[in-house]
Amino acid sequence: MKRIIAAAALLMITTFGLVATGTTAQAQPARGAKKTPVSESQYQTLLNQCEYADTERRRAACRAMVSENYQVTGEENPGLDCREYAGVAVCGPLDLSPAERRCVKSSVDGGLTYRRAEVECYAFS
């Protein structure tokens, strides 16, 4: 019984930590690890999407993440998740703020697809 309570408490603490911080862990290549190869246009899209981040600090962190994790090789990377909705092109995972995540949930509940809601909320909220 004590083990069940301990496991439940650990789960609650972990869940609370995610809710309280409003962040989730994203796998990123370790320092010195091989960068993800992308085309020039994909790299530019990754940099451009940083302009939609809601604060200067988040924009700077986004640009740093792009330069740390991606390398232009000349060939398009078909494994990179690129999409465009409402005239906004993005590639890869989006680091959504808590407000943007609420917007996505509301939009999906209203009938939008998750991918479209994610891009539109990231760019316009």
| pTM (global) more than 0.85 | no
The predicted pLDDT at position 2 comes to 43
Is the pLDDT at 1 greater than 50, yes or no?
A: no
Give residue 60's pLDDT. 97
For every residue of 74-101, DSSP letters joined together read SS--TTS-EEEETTEEEES-----HHHH
How far apart are the C-alpha atoms of 112 and 117, rounded to whole Å?
6
Domain chopping of the chain, boundaries: 34-124
At residue 7, the pLDDT reads: 43
pLDDT at 15 over 50: no
Contact 83, 119 (CB under 8 A): yes
Residues 6 or more apart in contact with residue 54 via CB below 8 angstroms: 97, 99, 100
Task: Let me know: does 74 contact 40? Beta carbons within 8 Å.
Answer: yes
